[in-house]
Amino acid sequence: MRLLLISNSTNPGEGYLEYPKQHIKDFLGEKATNAIFIPYAAVTFSFEEYEKKVNERFAEIGHHVTSIHRFINPVDAIENADAIVVGGGNTWQLVKMLQEKGLMKVIRKRVKKGTPYIGWSAGSNIACPTLKTTNDMPIMEPIKFKTLKLVPFQINPHYLDDNPANHGGETREDRIKEFIEVNKETYVVGLREGTMLLLDDDDLILLGNRKARIFKYGQEPKELTNEEDFNFLLQRS
């Protein structure tokens, strides 16, 4: 199984998908790929606009995406995809639409059989067992919270350490600690912006220059660099 799970699409001051594009190219290889793109997390702009924006960047690295909304039969589109690319946006809408269109099982099946999977933000969230560690406002109600479960741990993309000045509410760490209090067997990876997780068969590594923050019930949060072992996260409870 091959996964590229990216925290965020864009770093401040950069173009869309600028920082991860070389990693995406390395992941997909030199041969041109016609990937199926899932734009369902887009809320304030159209699926056509999303497809165009992604293709502008993918063209720079010799690849192409076709949005799944263009297919009469989206299940067949996934079955025949060279790769599956899931964009960021609102995770709740993304999950609801994937469930309603019957795509969760077929995506999981294809990726388990070797179809490469790339997701950023919401697209990385749904590779986990559940959407419960998303940052998004629940603007839609999905059928259930379960997602693809391609990995046994949870990701919190866009992980932030800071508590803004004059803000009295919970930090991101506070929210994750609430999650692990009631989900005691599950690891959560605080995936900071500018970083991503690469799974190649049974080897999980961190890409990027910032550390990941790892949470587990009964343990102090720990910081891991891209030189440290992440494979313990693949152990299923």
Residue of 167 and 27 predicted with greater confidence: 27
When divided into structural domains, the chain yields a total of: 1
The question of whether 63 is a catalytic residue gets the answer no
pLDDT at 161: 86
Query: Tokens representing 61?
Result: 């690295």
The widest CA-to-CA distance across the chain, in whole angstroms, is 51
- Answer yes or no: are the C-beta atoms of 100 and 140 closer than 8 Å: no
One-letter identity of residue 101: K
Model confidence pLDDT, tens digit, residues 148-197: 999 999 999 999 987 767 677 788 999 999 999 999 999 999 999 999 99
pLDDT at 125: 97
The question of whether 121 is a catalytic residue gets the answer yes
Query: At 18, which CATH number?
Result: 3.40.50.880
Query: Tokens representing 103?
Result: 């795509």
Span 138-144, mean pLDDT? 96
Looking at 158, 161, 167, 203, which residue is catalytic?
158
Query: Considering the chain, what percentage of its residues have pLDDT values greater than 70?
Result: 97
pLDDT at 192: 97
DSSP string, 120-189: ETHHHHTTSSBSTT--S---S--S-SB---SSSSEEEEEE-----TT--S--HHHHHHHHHHH-TT--EE
Q: What is the pTM of this model?
A: 0.96
The question of whether 158 is a catalytic residue gets the answer yes
Sign of CA dihedral 4, 129, 38, 90: negative
Query: Assign residue 89 a region: left if phi > 0, alpha if psi is -120 to 50, beta otherwise?
Result: left
What burial class does residue 179 get, using C-beta atoms within 10 Å of its C-beta: 0-12 exposed, 13-18 middle, 19+ buried?
A: middle
Model confidence pLDDT, tens digit, residues 111-127: 999 999 999 999 999 99
Model confidence pLDDT, tens digit, residues 84-103: 999 999 999 999 999 999 99
Instruction: Indicate the pLDDT class of residue 39, thresholds 50, 70 and 90.
Output: very high
pLDDT at 169: 73
Looking at 7, 9, 67, 121, which residue is catalytic?
121
What residues make up the domain containing 97? 2-234
Looking at 67, 136, 201, 202, which residue is catalytic?
136
